[in-house]
Structure 1
Amino acid sequence: MTEKAPGTQAQTPIPEKRAWWALSALSIGLFVTLLDQSLVAVSLPRIREELDASINQVVWVSAVYLLTFAVPLLITGRLGDRFGQRNVYLVGMAIFTLAALACSMAPTIEWLIFLRAVQGLGGSLINPQPLSIIHRIFARDRRGAATGIWSAVASSAGLFGPVIGGVVVGTVGWRWVFFLYVPLGLISLLMVARFVPRLPTGASRIDLLSGLVSLIAVLGVVFSLQQGPELGWTWWLWLILAGGLVALWLFIRLQRTATARGTDALVPLELFRHRNFALGITAVATLGFTVYSVNLPIMLYLQVGQGMPSELAGLMLVPMGVISVFMAPVIGRMTDRVEPGRISKIGFLSMIAAMTLFGVFMHLDLNPWWMLLPVVALGFANSMCWAPNSTISLRDLPADLVGAGSGVYNTSRQVGAVLGAAALGAVMQMGTQNLSFGAAMGNALLLPVVFLVIGLLAVSRFRSGTQSSSH
């Protein structure tokens, strides 16, 4: 395989057949890490009962995973550039799998929380690498198709997670939820080692000072937003948030002075001179804000507001997952052939329409079967937003910036998700004190429309070819 030096547009892709096998191996890892969120959520009531845990401890079983997953993403993306995306992925999957095995045998809730933190760190090492690899092993005009498959796998994890979790917990117990990761993790490790090539590394060294400051910045912002609604926004949480924002300002300063300090920037500011990347991270933050937080108000409305059984309420969301799974690969292939942003604009408009319909229907307290209309619209919107956005954002980055770009991209998505969960939680809590239950849930689902408009404006400015290289 002939390879160009780091910093050129792209190396010569590996044979396409091997690239698709590599994508299959990476997709197993994606499925496992995304399956975690819904599987463990289903397990929490049983975990609380068997380990005699408090509600706060059970909340931390999920919260600590999200923290250790989201906080290091800027660093783990850059580690892929420094040590090779394949190597960092293998280390991350090994940590994730071993931690899952240990979780399945955790004797106390304290041990389980600690092991979930380790598992989240493994997930953080895994998460930025596959997108970097995809954008380096596939030819430019095949990356949309590859990320379409990637998005379909992500959608299927969200669809099958609650179903698999319910069956496993109800039949063999919550410990088997964690043990389920072990064979899947081992399969991914073996396949990645076999099919994913060793790619040239870019960054010669990592700025440790910037890494430490980035951890403080993301931890301060994510922790305060994640715990604010639950802890009532006490004064010390505001202090943590302020500290995170100050650290963020210092981090940006450190990136500007990295060369003068004789080191490589953790997040090269050159990334933001690529127009589509800068617009894409804005758009993905608005997607994270919306998509990762809407299920809770929808489920609460159907079950509490309309008295629908939990099993039937869960089935109401199945069309969304099915449409996303089958449409994402098709949309991905189309992304390679049409003007950048055209599909994304349709996707964001569809998502805005879906969220507006949810809000209006809930305010009107309509028959819950009307909810199928926005559910279907949201399924189409998901397929038209995620894959095109990641493809267009990353495909024109130089090879030595793809790892850093993937880390920033994933961090933007996760911070958007945390902000969305906190904001929708606050709106729901305030609304139930003054409005009808349906109106309170409806207001929560109307809030993301404001952010989706920002995302729509961002993807409307995508450009093709050399136009995307600078603002």
Structure 2
Amino acid sequence: MTTGTSPAQVTKNPWAALLALCVGFFMILVDMTIVAVAQPQIQAALHTDVNGIVWVTSAYLLTYAVPLLITGRLGDKFGPKKVYQLGLIVFTIASVWCGFSTTIGMLIAARALQGVGAALITPQTMALITRIFPPEKRGAAMGVWGTVAGVATLVGPLLGGILTDSFGWEWIFFVNLPVGIVGLVLAHMLVPDVETHDHQFDWLGVVLSAVGLSALVFGIQDGEKYDWNGWIWALIGVGLILLGLFIFWQSRIKREPLVPLSLFRDRNFSLSNIGIASMGFAMSGIMIPAMFFLQLVGGMSPTRSALVMVPMAVLTGILAPIVGRVLDKVHPRLILAPSLLLMAISVAWLGVIAQPETPVWQLIIPMSLMGVASAGIWAPLAATATRNLPWQQAGAGAGVYNTTRMIGSVLGSAAVGALMQTRLAAELPGMASQEQGSHVEQLPEFVRDGFATAMGQTLFLPAVALLFGVVATLFLVKPAHQAGPAAPVPAADATADGQVHTV
């Protein structure tokens, strides 16, 4: 393993490097929100049902989640800058393929490739922040990271609405081409090359986790489509067993595991993973029913439905850097637990008032509160999770943390998709399996009440999921840099097996 260097030795201008990294992160987030706004139009254009359109999201999230277990290590082995640039190339090519898709199957396949590109990009951003910023400045750096998330949440829906209304849904993917090119140039110029250290890769672990999670997601999401037959429950059971075997294998493997269980000895890392899983579950679960409600019940165009989300994005973007600076000085649970609780209340509130007769201004209130809550969740959770980790485990920690977030997201997408189909079957029999016509139109008045009720009831599931994050973050402890002077301890080092040893 190569010798260590301090963040100050890596680059003299970490903020410029952070700016370049945020381009790729921005593109991923914009793409997710753009697709959410255009889902009704994609469903109509490709003549698919609700389950098909949910798979457009789930396929992306699934292939995003599984490779994260190794892409963080790939950054450690080959250099996070190189892996980040590779991810930009894959994501950009896949985006162009998405735009040229003519069938729902082709689009799902292209979205799956996009997920692989996103998996290559994401852990490198967090790992490099950990490598180039000292602990006392990471909260501020993560605040910028959170601001980018807020701006992307604003730009994505608006850009998606404008492009879909003006040129067609295909252009929500074509727009990634110039962004990807700019991101590659900036990364080449501004992102430093940092030291690397060798890794072994646990391919059995990759197979167990990939097959297990895929079986679980397919079983949950397609359960309603196949009337929850016995083989669906068997598939879910197999998925759970394989994931259990994966965890057991990680505890027994002698060489370097995919998930170094030693990471979870850090209390804040463990609890932050629960928090981010609940937030990932909620966010992927909110967008589909919300957009279908606004467009099919409210009769809004994609642009108008995106404008409803603007206050949420603006508030997140304004508050995130402020929260980042405060986080460096206060106990993390004072920010995280109230923010997650506010998010849960806001989502449940939106579910209650999601009715055809509800005026738009009433819908904006809970969405705005979601923006306030988000500013106190995304960056603070990421900073709290990684702050106490030694830099040698930055790649592994970022990979595990982002994997947890994406597993929460893919399970949220699948579970909410299944619940949507179940509630539509109950409120409007046959609606879930019905294909859209070639144009998106407001639903006839006699079915709006039932459809709105189904969408509102679906939103209660992500609200409940957030409560798990609330409970977890109540047990966070002060990070090391806030704990005051401590007795000297031996320096930590990470060996090839991913475990932390003292030297």
When normalised by structure 2's length, the TM-score is 0.81
Q: 2 CA distance for matches of 1:43 and 1:365?
A: 24
User: Could you say which residue in structure 1 is the equivalent of 2:235?
Assistant: 240
Contact 1:226 1:418 in 2 (8 A): no
User: Secondary structure at the residue paired with 1:128?
Assistant: helix
Q: 2 CA distance for matches of 1:413 and 1:173?
A: 31
Return closer, same or farther for 1:183/1:434 CA change in 2, 3 Å cut-off. Answer: closer
**1:276-309: per-residue Cα shift (whole Å, max 9, x none)?**
0000000011111222222333344455556666
> Which of 452, 463, 469 lines up with 1:455 in the alignment?
469
**1:331-380: per-residue Cα shift (whole Å, max 9, x none)?**
11111121222111221232133234334445897544322321221110
User: Could you say which residue in structure 2 is the equivalent of 1:142?
Assistant: 137
Matches within 5 A, 1:70-469: 70-105=65-100, 111-259=106-254, 263-302=255-294, 311-362=303-354, 367-431=359-423, 433=426, 437=450, 439-466=453-480
Contact 2:34 2:159 in 1 (8 A): yes
Contact 2:26 2:149 in 1 (8 A): yes
Contact 1:168 1:177 in 2 (8 A): yes
Q: 2 CA distance for matches of 1:361 and 1:57?
A: 27
Return closer, same or farther for 1:251/1:11 CA change in 2, 3 Å cut-off. Answer: farther
User: Secondary structure at the residue paired with 1:396?
Assistant: coil
User: Could you say which residue in structure 1 is the equivalent of 2:440?
Assistant: none
**1:233-283: per-residue Cα shift (whole Å, max 9, x none)?**
343333332222222122122212222xxx211111101101100000000
Q: 1 CA distance for matches of 2:103 and 2:351?
A: 42
User: Secondary structure at the residue paired with 2:372?
Assistant: helix
The Cα shift of 1:231 comes to 4.6
Higher helix fraction: Structure 1 or Structure 2?
Answer: 1
The Cα shift of 1:319 comes to 0.7
Return closer, same or farther for 1:368/1:362 CA change in 2, 3 Å cut-off. Answer: same
Contact 1:47 1:58 in 2 (8 A): yes
The Cα shift of 1:128 comes to 1.6
> Which of 28, 31, 35 lines up with 1:33 in the alignment?
28
Amino acid at match of 2:283: V
The Cα shift of 1:403 comes to 1.4
User: Secondary structure at the residue paired with 1:264?
Assistant: coil
Structure 1 window deviating more from structure 2 (128-137 vs 250-259): it is 250-259
**Which consecutive residues of structure 1, in runs of 5 or more, have no partner in the other structure?**
none
**Which consecutive residues of structure 2, in runs of 5 or more, have no partner in the other structure?**
429-448, 484-491, 493-499
Q: How many residues align?
A: 461
Contact 1:290 1:420 in 2 (8 A): yes
The Cα shift of 1:227 comes to 3.6
Contact 1:4 1:12 in 2 (8 A): no
Give me the identity figure in percent.
39
The Cα shift of 1:186 comes to 1.5
Q: 2 CA distance for matches of 1:295 and 1:256?
A: 36
Contact 1:169 1:176 in 2 (8 A): yes
Contact 1:288 1:413 in 2 (8 A): yes
**1:137-158: per-residue Cα shift (whole Å, max 9, x none)?**
1111111111111122122222
Return closer, same or farther for 1:423/1:122 CA change in 2, 3 Å cut-off. Answer: closer
User: Secondary structure at the residue paired with 2:329?
Assistant: coil
Q: 2 CA distance for matches of 1:444 and 1:324?
A: 24
The Cα shift of 1:170 comes to 3.5
Return closer, same or farther for 1:198/1:328 CA change in 2, 3 Å cut-off. Answer: same
**1:90-146: per-residue Cα shift (whole Å, max 9, x none)?**
111122223333444557665554433322211111122111111111111111111
**1:407-458: per-residue Cα shift (whole Å, max 9, x none)?**
2211221222233233334444444526964554443333334332221121
Amino acid at match of 1:315: L
Q: 1 CA distance for matches of 2:63 and 2:460?
A: 30
Q: 2 CA distance for matches of 1:178 and 1:358?
A: 29
